[in-house]
Amino acid sequence: MISVARQIIMSILRPLNVREESYIIFLLKGVLGLRPVGYFKKIPGFLYIFILITAYVVLFVYVAEYAENFFENFSVYSVSSKFRNFDTNFNLIFVPIVIIIGVTMARRIDRIFDEIIKVDQQFSYLNGHFDYFGNFRREVIHVTTLLFITSIISAADYHGLRNANVSRTFVLLWIVNFVPRIVDAIVSSAFVTLLAKIRDRFAKLNDLIYMPGENAKVGAVSRLDVASRALQFRRLHSDLNAISRDINDTYRFQLLISIMVILMRTCGHLNIITKNYNDVNHLVDIILSIIWSIFEIGLLIYITSACHNVKKESELIRDLLTHRHEFREIQSSHPIMTNDNVKFYLFHMFVIDYPFFGVVIMGLLGYIFILSQTSSSDS
């Protein structure tokens, strides 16, 4: 037990590879059941996940009747009660599905990390090294910031709904709605930090192409050396593209669910804001809905930016290899680049990039316009 604790501490203080730098993500996902605990002991790991799902379902069943009565009574004071009641019932489906998908993804994610470790070994041959402890600190900042923001807004939501007659059951109801937010935050930060690793390696490859190496002076490098390095760059670029596709394929269900939930919740809050923006009596509901809408849109930007940055770094390699004079002669006889581009899809329906975010914003603006017209005609 002491040796295991020592190994964990050393992995945190002195991570030696990309897997060890991601220990905080693996730990949080294990606690929330998003990957098996004791991964190589299948029965204990899956038993823990089963207990977590069962506990959440039992907790939901325990507060279900109270929630129904609470939101029905609270509808006299709050215009958001119907949406909150729907969101509570939806969480019963959301949490088990996300956990089960996370478990099915675990082995594929481990294989992705194995591939990244192999890529890092190739980088070491080219004098390219990574700051694993710095990356660990970045991941801690990513995760803790997102969890902190989620917790603060959820706490504001709790006090916004709290009244003088609440009981312990209300606290349990809040926990039922808080757990899905935490799960969603961990899933999003795990995806974004994994993409950040790929972006870092594309950026390192760009640096190596732009600066041929400490011992490789321009004009003193033989054509054979340049060709060899160019082929190594091509191999690394191809491997990183393949890993990016594996990430996209592995996370496709979680991405689809996360983005659908973001849009669903945003539309629900915009409905509350648009229909009651001039009603002072519902000011608390409006403020909370504005805060949650900003958070949901910010979460979508968080995911979209990560996808865009990986795609941008990958495309820079083509430009560098095309314009660097060392590679111009070799480009004709040994094409260095392939037509393989990095793109992150939602089941090949949409490319997750800034144009996709623009389409979402235009759709939300159209939704607000329709709601405003409907509200004005009802009045």
3 assigned to some structural domain = no
- Residue 9, domain member (yes or no): no
CA distance from start to end of the chain:
68
Q: Kindly report the CA angle at 259 between 159 and 245, in degrees rounded to 5?
A: 140
How confident is the model over 243-267, as pLDDT tens digits? 999 999 999 999 999 999 999 999 9
Structure confidence at residue 224 (pLDDT): 47
Q: Mapped to the 3 state alphabet, what secondary structure does 17-72 carry?
A: CHHHHCHHHHHHHHHCCCCCCCCCCHHHHHHHHHHHHHHHHHHHHHHHHHHHHHHH
The single-letter DSSP state of residue 191 is H
Residue 1, in any domain of the structure: no
Lowest-pLDDT choice from 49-58, 110-119, 217-226, 356-365: 217-226
Structural domain of 145: 15-378
Q: Is residue 288 part of a domain?
A: yes
Within a domain: 183: yes
| Helix residue ranges, H only, 166-222 | 168-210
Please state the domain count of the chain. Answer: 1
Instruction: Give 329's pLDDT tier (boundaries 50, 70, 90).
Output: low
Place of tokens 């909370």: 288
Average pLDDT value for the chain: 83
Is residue 153, in this structure, part of any structural domain at all? yes
pLDDT above 90 coverage of the chain, percent:
46
Burial grade of 53 (CB within 10 A; 0-12, 13-18, 19 or more): middle
pLDDT of residue 202: 92
Confidence at residue 219, expressed as pLDDT on a 0 to 100 scale: 43
| Tokens representing residue 39 in the block | 């991964």
Higher pLDDT, 79 or 188: 188
Overall pTM > 0.75: yes
Instruction: Determine, yes or no, domain membership for 369.
Output: yes
43: in domain: yes
**Beta carbons of 294 and 183 less than 8 angstroms apart:** no
Most confident of the ranges 189-193, 214-218, 227-231: 189-193
Quote the DSSP letter at residue 281: G
Whether the predicted pLDDT of 321 surpasses 80? no
User: Looking at per-residue confidence, does 225 or 99 come out higher?
Assistant: 99
